[in-house]
């Protein structure tokens, strides 16, 4: 229950209700520790993922893919948002009750600010609460970063990703500044709902960290779906113009414009540390504004740990979860787990169909001088994968990078239906030394997407 005590002493203080922090809090409480968790917003119990990140956006991916031509776009969108709100509210309440309902756990809602390396204050004046603890876990996550483009930050038409998924009104037109994962996911979602979408990307192609053939396949699919993709476009100004905003961008030495009802700044996220007063605790930060940690996630103060996005690592919920395992091993285990133990961490871009990747790209493997085989096939040509036809989504490709000498999988890019699931099997194989031949010759259910392995590993190119 919510504490009204002026001063609270805990065994462990957790600042931030994200995946890593809440997981650690549960385990520590069950181990008999007195835990206090401070979360600055009642709308964020459980962290970014179930409230404004993974869960609501993937629900919108699901809803948007079900829209029919005869559906009224605004009504369909409003009903979809209502469905998202209902689920996220349930998750939020469940996260709060599950932790605060424990006898040795207390959740405090408010902004935590360090007073010294063992103490934080929450609130102010008569409502001030002081929490002290010998061990502190920081899990405050990240927040959207707005690029320094004249007029963008102050535009009344600028929206954040959180704004978009919480508003009932579907924008008729949307300009997305930034063609990274977040930008492309929102482009796909809103285009499917019926919004006219333009993506402005500074780089000369999308997904520049992926192989060119994979990036081109993604680009072709998004363009086929009706999204206007402008690469090599540097956004230089945003001007409000009544009911719309005019976005000016430079491309091929020309200044061009595009108008939209809403402008999403999808230019990245940065660690949320501004309110923590880290200086008072002597906690150092990096040049990129993240909390500096070692391989065991200890900060410059060994009793203070940083988990999740705030430590500058990969910004994924499942990495934050793994962070909690590392920290718990320090606090309750043998202290052997480190961030260097991670092998083949997968990523998924939730467009339709999704793109899931892991390990090395072909370009990276060749740059390292590896002797590799590349197995690749277009989904439409995979005879052993009828599931793609049964769900009427045959776009995309499967690509594997295989060590020619050991037959071990070095990397994969899966642009296909069920890619977010298939990639987990691939990464498991990579972690445990299962060869490409073993995956090729395994028995899979039918019709399924994994049975594509029976064929694709024989499709060697180059």
Q: Residues 97-133: pLDDT tens digits? A: 888 889 999 999 999 999 999 999 998 777 899 999 9
CATH code for 7-142+270-341? Answer: 3.50.50.60
Let me know if 157 is a catalytic residue.
no
**pLDDT exceeds 80 at position 44:** no
H helix intervals, 376-435: 387-390, 419-431
Among candidates 347, 269, 321, which has minimal Cα distance to 26? 321
State the Cα–Cα distance between residues 182 and 144, nearest whole angstrom.
10
DSSP structure string for 247-267: EEEEETTEEEEEEESEEEE-S
- Block residue for tokens 């929450």: 122
What percent of the chain is predicted at pLDDT more than 90? 77
CA distances from 28 to 15, 37, 260, 421 (A): 14, 12, 49, 31
| Average pLDDT, integer, range 376-398 | 96
- Block residue for tokens 């385990």: 27
Q: At 3, is the pLDDT very low, low, confident or very high (cuts 50, 70, 90)?
A: very low
State the Cα–Cα distance between residues 308 and 312, nearest whole angstrom.
8
The per-residue pLDDT for range 413-432, each reduced to its tens digit, is: 999 999 999 999 999 999 99
**pLDDT exceeds 70 at position 53:** no
The per-residue pLDDT for range 230-276, each reduced to its tens digit, is: 999 999 999 999 999 999 999 999 999 999 999 999 988 899 999 99
The per-residue pLDDT for range 16-31, each reduced to its tens digit, is: 998 999 999 999 999 9
**pLDDT exceeds 60 at position 2:** no
- The burial of 257, by beta-carbon neighbours within 10 Å (0-12 exposed, 13-18 middle, 19 or more buried), is given as exposed
Average pLDDT over the chain reads: 93
Is residue 115 a contact partner of residue 121, using CB atoms and an 8 Å limit?
A: yes
**pLDDT exceeds 50 at position 153:** yes
Residue 116: its H or E element: strand 112-116
**pLDDT exceeds 80 at position 448:** yes
| Average pLDDT, integer, range 78-94 | 87
Classify domain 158-267 at the CATH topology level: FAD/NAD(P)-binding domain (3.50.50)
Question: Catalytic pick from 192, 347, 432, 446?
Answer: 446
Classify domain 347-461 at the CATH topology level: Enolase-like; domain 1 (3.30.390)
State the Cα–Cα distance between residues 79 and 65, nearest whole angstrom.
14
Q: How many CB atoms lie within 10 A of CB 289?
A: 15
State the Cα–Cα distance between residues 97 and 94, nearest whole angstrom.
5
What stretch(es) of the chain map to CATH 3.30.390.30?
347-461
Whole-number pLDDT of residue 162: 85
Whole-number pLDDT of residue 24: 96
Whole-number pLDDT of residue 129: 94
What stretch(es) of the chain map to CATH 3.50.50.60?
7-142+270-341, 158-267
Whole-number pLDDT of residue 462: 59
Whole-number pLDDT of residue 166: 85
Give the chain's largest Cα–Cα span.
71
Q: At 5, is the pLDDT very low, low, confident or very high (cuts 50, 70, 90)?
A: low
Total number of residues shown for the chain: 462
| Average pLDDT, integer, range 391-410 | 97
Strands 228-231 and 254-260: unpaired
State the Cα–Cα distance between residues 136 and 298, nearest whole angstrom.
10
Whole-number pLDDT of residue 86: 87
């Amino acid at each position: 229950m919510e504490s009204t005590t002026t001063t609270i002493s805990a065994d462990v203080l957790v600042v931030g209700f994200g995946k890593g922090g809440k997981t650690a809090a549960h385990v520590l409480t069950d181990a008999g520790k007195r835990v206090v968790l401070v979360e600055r917003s009642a709308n964020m119990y459980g962290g970014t993922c179930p409230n404004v990140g993974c869960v609501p956006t993937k629900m919108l991916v699901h809803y948007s893919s079900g829209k029919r031509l005869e559906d009224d776009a605004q009504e369909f969108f409003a009903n979809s948002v209502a469905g998202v709100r209902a689920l996220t509210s349930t998750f939020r309440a469940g996260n709060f009750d599950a932790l605060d309902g424990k006898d040795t756990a207390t959740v405090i809602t408010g902004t935590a600010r360090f007073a010294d390396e063992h103490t934080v204050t929450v609130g102010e004046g008569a409502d001030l609460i002081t929490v002290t603890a010998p061990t502190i876990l920081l899990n405050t996550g990240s927040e959207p970063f707005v690029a320094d483009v004249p007029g963008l930050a102050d535009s009344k038409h600028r929206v954040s990703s959180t704004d978009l998924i919480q508003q009932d009104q579907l924008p008729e037109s949307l300009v997305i500044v930034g063609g990274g994962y977040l930008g492309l996911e929102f482009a796909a979602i809103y285009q499917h709902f019926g919004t006219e979408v333009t993506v402005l990307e500074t780089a000369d192609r999308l997904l520049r960290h992926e192989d060119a053939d994979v990036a081109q396949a993604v680009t072709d699919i998004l363009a086929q779906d009706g999204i206007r993709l402008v690469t090599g476009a540097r956004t230089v100004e945003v001007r409000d113009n009544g009911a719309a905003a005019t976005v000016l961008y430079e491309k091929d030495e020309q200044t061009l414009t595009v108008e939209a009802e809403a402008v999403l700044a999808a230019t990245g996220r940065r660690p949320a540390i501004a309110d923590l007063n880290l200086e008072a605790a002597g906690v150092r930060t990096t040049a990129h504004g993240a909390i500096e940690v070692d391989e065991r996630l200890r900060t410059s103060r060994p009793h203070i740990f940083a988990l999740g996005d705030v430590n500058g690592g990969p910004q994924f919920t499942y990495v934050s979860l793994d962070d909690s395992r590392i920290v718990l091993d320090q606090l309750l285990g043998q202290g052997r787990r480190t961030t260097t133990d991670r092998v083949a961490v997968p990523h998924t871009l939730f467009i339709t169909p999704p793109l899931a990747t892991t390990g090395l790209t072909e370009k990276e493997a060749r740059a390292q001088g590896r002797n590799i085989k590349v197995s690749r096939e277009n989904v439409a040509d995979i005879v052993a994968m009828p599931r793609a036809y049964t769900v009427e989504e045959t776009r995309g490709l499967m690509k594997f990078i295989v060590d020619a000498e050991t037959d071990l999988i070095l990397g994969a890019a899966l642009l296909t239906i069920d890619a977010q699931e298939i990639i987990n099997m691939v990464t498991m194989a990579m972690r445990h030394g299962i060869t490409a031949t073993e995956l090729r010759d395994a028995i899979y259910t039918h019709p399924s997407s994994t049975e594509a392995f029976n064929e694709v590993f024989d499709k060697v190119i180059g």
